[in-house]
Structures are given as C-alpha cells and as structure tokens.
A and B are shown apart, each in its own frame.
Chain A
C-alpha cells in the first residue's frame, strides 16, 4: 500500500460538507430533496440574507449573502427556512466523530469543514480508498453529501475539495498545479478575499499562475508578510500542520449587527449595543473566559467603518461591564452620522482558570466571608487534584446566532 504514500511528506484531506445547512434540513425532511432550499437569517427583515442554499437554488443563481428579496426574484419557488442550529451542531459533531475514527489528527475549522492528516493511515488503504469510505459513511449514516480534497498540504487539499462538488473526491498533486490550479483566477484562491484580489489585479496579477510568478518584494510591499505566504501557496507550498488543538486558540469574541434602518437615534443605538453586549457576554460565559480589551466597530450609512478599542485595568465578562465600556467608546468616537452597523468585540481573552482575582481593600470583607469554603476546596484539591468544585453555570437556552460557526468548536474540546 505504501506506494500510495510519499516517502517524505504528508497526505492531507480537506473534508467539506456540501451546502451543509440545506443538506441537514433535507436529511431531516426528505420531501425537500430536489427542491431549491435556502436558509436565511431573518426572513422578515431587510437584513435577512441567504446563509446557505441547496444546489437546486444555486442553479438558479441564488448565492450566499444575497438579500432574501433578490433570491426570491431569481427563484420564486424558493423554500426559505430559518436556521435550526441544534440540528447543524448535532450533524457536525456526528460528522467529526466519523473523521476521528480514521485518525486523531483532525482539525475542525468550522462547523462543516475540517482537515485530516492521514499520513500514518497506510494500514487502512490508499488515500483514495479512505476518502471514498469516509464519504460513503457520511452519506449512509447521516444522509449528507461532502467533497474531499486530497493533497500534500492543507492549502492544496482545501483547493482540491472545492474542485468537484457535490460528492467529489479530488486529488491535487504538485505536478497537477500547472493544469488544475494555476489557470484559476486569483480570487478563487483560498486566502484571497475580495479586497486582496482587487489589490493584486492592480499589479497585473489575475491568475494563480501570475501570483506564483510574482515578485516577492512587490507582494510584501503590497500585502505584508501575507503576500509572501500567498505566493508560496500559489506554488503549492504550505507547511502549516494539521493541528487538532487549533480550536483552543481564540483571541477575541465579538458580535455585530446591521440596524433595520440607518439611524442616529441614541435609544435605538443603545438598545442594539445592549443586545450585542448580552450576546458577547453569553459567549464569554459559554467559553469560561474573560477579556481585558473592548473594541467597538461603527459602520456609517456610507459604509465608512471605524474601530476603536480600550484596554481595561481589570478583566471583564458581564453584560453590564461590556455594555458600559462599549457605550463609553461610542460616546467618545461617534461622529453623529447615521449608523448602519455596530459591532462589539472583547479581546485579550484568557481562560478564567488562568487568572486570579485581586482582592480589594474596600470590599475584601465580602469575599472573606467565603473563606471557609475556599479553604475546604483547597483542602480537597490537595487531596483529589484540581478543583473538584466548579461554579455551576446555568445551562442557557440562548442559542448563539452569528459566529455560531466558530463557537461550535467548543463542542470538540475536552
């Protein structure tokens, strides 16, 4: 079997669920199969946009992030559904379970995609066989389609999984680059967003081939260190490992929301700020973390966007603390122009376990009343290991809305 595996080097899979939310809905309700289905944020309001859609809808031109009214115009018989996050969460965790049975080197990157390093899986067969069996199991057991890219590194695997959808398996070797990768327009490349693509076009880089041949210094001047990285990737070079622990690294938690109408009404703004603070506080709590920096994003009616942040002397976690801090930032930096969107982000995040609480001269007596309790805990900790009592956090029914795709990763932490 080893002839399928490189002597030096790795075999990486990128598993990408095809139109995940829509597919999960179809698995729950097979009557939807074959119909144009779309999942949208808030069907009633202006900000209702398409989160994902089935291939049948896409065939009619429906795209992700398209406003609902536009999608309905393109596809009048579109079945629009609100997201059922619990279903997606469950399907996702079942999917990753299947991946983990092949190898422990699984790195989830969002709710519906992940990387696997199967270099050490020679005993299970050729990479193509393994990919086919994963795809089949996910189809049989979960009734969900996926595409798998096979390549010597993460970047190429990601590009490969994109090449045949749905239910594709694509091998992308370095020798395939000139034919399969390089002719693609540069904006198709993973890691090149709209803005980067425009910048690249300005220096006459239109295809991935152009990027692969571009001058490193010029790229660095244009895009900083990321320019060099992109050039390497265009040449098929990507040394980042599949890191199962990557999901532990997050540095900020934030939410943003577009207003129903551009507004200067302070009451509306405060209400939205309160909502955002509540959402961020809920997510901080879920993750058992606290942060020391609050960033406020204001997008004005003309799409001009500013972010302002403040570093705090203490770690914060509650809705009230976040609300007051962001309101402060707002009052200091708002130009008075109509606002379209607000975002609140807590940065400099650490796990609660890692920090300590500095007692205060003027309030310590309140804490000191709990002293016997802490002593008892200390005692038991010494006897039985790390704190056997955790503050019991009430399980909230609050469904996180946006940024759900990243938060779900918590489910995979031990």
Chain B
C-alpha cells in the first residue's frame, strides 16, 4: 500500500474516526485504526464495537486532488500514536507506505516507522440491509440532537434512559430524551412517505449522538438514516456512522406531560436565562444548585437563591405576561439553563401546573420544541 495525501484532509478524517476508538476495548485490534487505499481514495475505520465510523477521502473532488500515487492495500495502525504524528508532521503532504506490517510515514524530512497489524484481522463492519431509510438535512439532524441529547441520563440505573428515543409518528420524526428529572423533546415533519417503514421507535445511545454531532458539518446537505432491529446507520457522502441501539422499551412519556396549566409566563429568553445564571452563582455552592422562582403581580418574576453558608441573591425581572395563579417553585438552575438554551427563540412560554408538578418550556410560537423540568421539593 502506498499513497501521498493532503495532511489537512487526513487529519480531519483521523479525528473523526478517533471518536469511535477507545483504548479500553475487549478486542485488542480495535485500539487501532484501519487504513485502506484503493483507486478511488482512502478509507479510515475506527470502532469500539458500540460505534463504528468510516471516513472516506476521495482521490479527487470538485477538481481538487487530495490523494496521489495510490497503490492499493490496507493496514491497521496503533491509534495511540498515529493522530499525533499526523498533527505534527512538517509538510502539507504526507506519504504513507506499507511493506508487510511495517509502515513508513514521510513528510518533508521527517520519517516515522511504525509497526502495523494485519488488516485481515480487523473485524468486518456489519452491512446494513434495510429498506427503512429516510433523509433529512444534516443541520436539522444536528439541531434535533442538540435540543434533546443533553437530557439523557448520565447514570446506568435505568440504562434505556441513557439513550434518545427516535420515533416516527404521523409523518413526524420525534426525538425524546429524559433522565427522569427533566425531559427534552423535538419533532419535525418528514417530507417523505413513512408508511412503508417498519420501524417506529428505537433508542439511540446518547453517547453515539454526541459523537455524531461533533463529526457532522453544519450543512444543508442531506444525511441518510437507516434503521435495523439493533443498529442505526447515518450516512453522508464521505462518512459512515454506525451505532448499536439500546435494548428495551422506552417508557411512554407523553401521558406524563401535563396538558392543562395553572400559571403561564411569557418571558424574554435571554433575560430569564441570565437571571437564573446569576442566581445559580451562589446556588452552585450548595450541593443542589437550586433556584426559586416566584410569579408575582405586575408581570414580575422573582428569581432567588439561598446558600446558608455563602449568602443569598434575589432579582426581579419584568416579563411580558403572567396569567393565572400565583406560584412559587424551586428547581435545578442547571436544568433550567439547559432548557432555555435549547429553545432557540427570543421569547419563551412557560406553563406551570403547581409547585410539585413538572413545568413546560416552549418557544413562543412553536410546538415542535418541548422542554420539561421536574421541580425540587425543599425539606
């Protein structure tokens, strides 16, 4: 195997593929990165058996040549050293050549010799055979991920909650995540006909979506999503991202979302977010990061926090409107800030149904985003 490649392109691909490689794996060869060269270009592969990523660098694209002098072949290189080597090479181009299991990396006057492993021993990635595919714009998928994935559970007490529930329903694509203390949901209409698809609900590990979001570019180009019983594949022109799905049924959350409200607040998002952020400065000191919100007369919201050992903070902000009953409620400042950031609108509508019940945050004119937070009860 031999080829000469643009270092920047190689670096980007290496970094993408590294997202799937873990130094702790039960299959030793998976600590390495597979490099394959054929006449069309170079393919890099990384996998930790939960996530597998393939990144393809074409020989040439849009008239720009990325790879030259390709002699086909393949090898597996230690992922511990390869990325840093590529990063620190002196020239814009890199020559990679393998002789048996010996790999030589040249750039300018620098020359590395690395011991590789036989690519034949690298596990074959499963081929997905499914008709259940649809496409959405990449930037929209990134939004769906960003607005939900932060709410997955970080602890394994209920493993299914560490994933994001993806559902197809009435030509809507639904993402829901909850750690049981807060819930984030986003849906978008699908323009394709989904009636023929056999899957309706799967749970994608939150970690996979986080990594995917990091790799995907913010582009309107479509990404193809294919689903099988236990795997999901995201595919763009040069990227192939395969993740296992979580086993088990995702809890039915829709009936837990209150339908009526007793107090409704319309507020500018930024002012509210900043006020909560300020109050949480002291709340962080106590163990819970809890702030208190009181809905008062004259469209005033009072945000306060009290840490006995540090001090307290109180702030009143003017909001657009407060309808319904007076209310005092305490909640995690972090959950509230996460939710307000995910709303992506200047104005929010917050619906409360009582101090011991979940409340809902939505953009003022959009029902496709829903953030729900469970309050805390102070002893």
Interface residues of A (CB under 8 A from B): 313, 350, 352-362, 364, 367-368, 370-371, 374-375, 378
Contact = CB atoms under 8 A, between A and B. Distances in A.
27 contacts: A313-B157, A353-B379, A354-B308, A355-B287, A355-B288, A356-B377, A356-B379, A357-B377, A358-B181, A358-B374, A358-B376, A359-B181, A359-B356, A360-B181, A361-B183, A361-B358, A361-B374, A362-B251, A362-B256, A364-B357, A367-B356, A368-B357, A371-B355, A371-B357, A374-B356, A374-B377, A378-B328
B375 interface: yes
A356 B290 contact: yes
Contact of B376 (A313, A354, A357): A357
Nearest to B256: A361
A354 B378 CA distance: 8
Interface in B125-143: none
B162 to A, nearest CB: 13
A359 B376 contact: yes
Given A355-B288, A356-B376, A361-B180, A374 B256 contact: no
A361 B379 contact: no
Contacts of B356: 359, 364, 367-368, 370-371, 374
B45 interface: no
Nearest to A292: B287
Contacts of A361: 178, 180-183, 253, 256, 358, 372, 374
Nearest to B328: A378
A359 B328 contact: no
Contacts of A353: 379
B155 interface: yes
Interface residues of B, number: 30
B354 interface: yes
Contacts of A359: 181, 356, 358, 374-377
A362 B290 contact: no
A370 B378 CA distance: 13
Nearest to B181: A358
B9 interface: no
Given A358-B181, A361-B183, A364-B374, 13 more contacts: A352-B379, A353-B379, A354-B286, A354-B308, A356-B288, A357-B379, A358-B332, A358-B374, A361-B181, A364-B356, A364-B357, A368-B356, A371-B357
Contacts of A352: 379
B330 interface: yes
Nearest to B309: A354
